[in-house]
Amino acid sequence: MDLLYFAWVREQIGTGQEAVDPPGAVVTVADLIDWLAKRSPGHAEAFRDPAKLRAAIDQRFVPLDAELGDAKEVAIFPPVTGG
């Protein structure tokens, strides 16, 4: 699965993209965020407060409790604002 990170999430992790193979217990986006938070101090900081995050699975916005299914790409980013 390819992960894409944007804005301050990318800055804290230190990369805008990475490929991962999460374990079978990772079923939802929230599970993925919890699992990713253990990868490095940067991941831990970026995912410290999941309520401040938004996600998209295969370029469709989803809630954090959405199941990953056979997702090819997951994007994680702060809330998007318009103006």
Domain boundaries, the chain: 2-77
CB-based burial, 22-49: b 16+ in 10 Å, e otherwise: eeeebebbbbbbebbbeeeeebeebbee
Task: Indicate yes or no: pTM above 0.85.
Answer: yes
- Of 1.10.3720.10, 3.10.20.30, 3.90.1640.10, 3.40.50.300, the CATH number of 2-77 is 3.10.20.30
> Which tens digit of pLDDT belongs to each residue from 27-73?
999 999 999 999 999 999 999 999 999 999 999 999 999 999 999 99
pLDDT over 90, % of the chain:
94
